Amino acid sequence: MRKLKLDELNRATITEFKAQQKLPVAVVLDNVRSMHNIGSIFRTSDGFAVGQICLCGITAQPPHREIEKTALGATQSVNWTYHTDALEAVTQLRADGYQIIAIEQAENSLMLNEFTPDKNAKYALIFGNEVNGVSDEVMQLIDTCIEIPQFGTKHSFNIVVSAGIVLWDFFAKLAIG
């Protein structure tokens, strides 16, 4: 077996990416502090053709060298906005017809493998701060909460791993592309 060379991958240009069908998902980053995590989520969002990213609160904004280290240019392809807080972003997304979903460990959360997204709906997936998770104020506004099943001794995944797992699951279940 031979690994493919970069020029054999047939990746979309930024212009082609912006015009292609997107996953009906907005990723909301609620006070994410690590610029490497932010950049990695941009890159993952590019990989799954996410519709948009909402950067909220202390979440850093491009352009920034530390974000680009892991984004590798995805800040140019993925649409993004900045909001002073996640409440503002969630309020706007709800007005735009998005279902609001926290990715969090909470009472009555639904396990990711049990969640089936509606192909005709739009989803705002909220990922919280690396230490404190999704803010309590935002948790009061959600439609539902999804939890990633875990079976080890640790109580959480890194936010980038969580985003990758959840976005892959939505991508696979919605079968776009």
What pLDDT was estimated at residue 176? 74
Burial 57-72 (b: 16+ CB within 10 A, else e): bebbebeeeebbebbe
Question: CA-CA distance, 129 to 59, in Å (whole number)?
Answer: 9
Question: CA-CA distance, 154 to 25, in Å (whole number)?
Answer: 28
What pLDDT was estimated at residue 160? 98
Which CATH number, 3.40.1280.10, 3.40.630.10, 3.20.20.70, 3.40.50.300, labels domain 20-174? 3.40.1280.10
Among candidate residues 80, 83, 105, 102, the one with its CA nearest the CA of residue 92: 83
Q: What is the mean pLDDT of each run of 10 residues along the chain (177 residues)?
A: 94 95 98 98 98 98 98 98 98 98 98 97 98 97 98 95 98 86
Q: Report CA-CA distances (Å) from 103 to 6, 64, 70, 74, 157.
A: 33, 26, 22, 22, 11
What pLDDT was estimated at residue 177? 58
Amino acid in the structure at residue 85: D
Asked whether the whole model's pTM tops 0.85, one would answer yes
